[in-house]
Amino acid sequence: MRRQRGSGSVDANGYRIHRRPGHILAGADGRVYEHRMALYAEIGYGPHRCVHCGHHVNWARGRSKGPDVLVVDHREGSRANNLPYNLAASCNGCNTSRADE
C-alpha cells in the first residue's frame, strides 16, 4: 500500500519513490527511488567501491540486483533520511548483512 507524502509516494518498505522518466536510474515505468537519485547526484555515475568491503559496484536502472550492482546503504538505518551524509555506495552482500544487524 502506498501513501502520498510530498511530491512522491512511499512504498510498503518506507522508501520514497518519484516519477522521473528519463532519469538515468529510472526503471521502465519511469519511477526512481529518492535515495538513489540523491546519492547519484552526490557521487555521479561511477564505478564506485562498496564503502564496507571495497568491491567495485556500478549503478543499474530500475530494480536490478547482483554482486556488481550498486545498492544505496542508509548508514543510520533511516529510510526516510535521504540526505547525502546518510547514504553510501554498497554492494548487495554488505547491504543485506547490515540489514540483519
Domains of the chain: which residue ranges? 3-99
Q: How far apart are CA 51 and CA 11, in angstroms?
A: 26
* pLDDT value of residue 100: 66
The pTM of the full predicted model, rounded to 2 decimals, is 0.88
Q: How far apart are CA 39 and CA 90, in angstroms?
A: 11
Strand ranges in 7-77 using DSSP code E only, listed in sequence order = 8-10, 16-19, 31-33, 48-49, 56-57, 71-74
| Helix or strand holding residue 97 (H, E) | helix 92-99
pLDDT one-digit tens code per residue, 27-75? 999 999 999 999 999 999 999 999 999 999 999 988 788 889 999 999 9
**Architecture of the CATH domain 3-99:** Alpha-Beta Complex (3.90)
pLDDT one-digit tens code per residue, 32-42? 999 999 999 99
